[in-house]
Amino acid sequence: MASAAAQPAPLSAEQAKVVLAEVIQAFSAPENAVRMDEARDNACNDMGKMLQFVLPVATQIQQEVIKAYGFSCDGEGVLKFARLVKSYEAQDPEIASLSGKLKALFLPPMTLPPHGPASGGSVAAS
């Protein structure tokens, strides 16, 4: 039973919206924006370096917010929060939208290689 006491109280969909909004707001705090900019600069749009530099900073920023809601202040707490949010995404478009905004804050935009559709030609042009 001791392990049950360590579990965060499950958040309702409404509470999850509030926490998601707080996490997103935390990313726009000046000190966190600087931390994320520095991490992105260090990563140079390299996915491996994004995992090395950006993801840990993003995780720390999330931890600072979600610990107030009973989640552990470690990577496991962030994963539990992410799973909870994911469980509400299909039921609640607002949660899905907030979750997408959060992911966009620390995942790089996917760019197509130069030989993709952006080059204007089609593959079957010959």
Task: List pLDDT tens digits, range 24-65.
Answer: 999 999 999 999 999 999 988 788 888 899 999 999 999 999
Task: List pLDDT tens digits, range 84-124.
Answer: 999 999 999 999 999 999 988 877 666 555 654 444 444 44
Could you give the CA distance from residue 112 to residue 119 in angstroms, rounded to a whole number? 10
In terms of pTM, does the model score above 0.85? no
Whole-number Cα distances in Å, 92 to 17, 23, 78, 86: 10, 18, 20, 10
Domain boundaries of the chain, sorted by first residue: 11-104
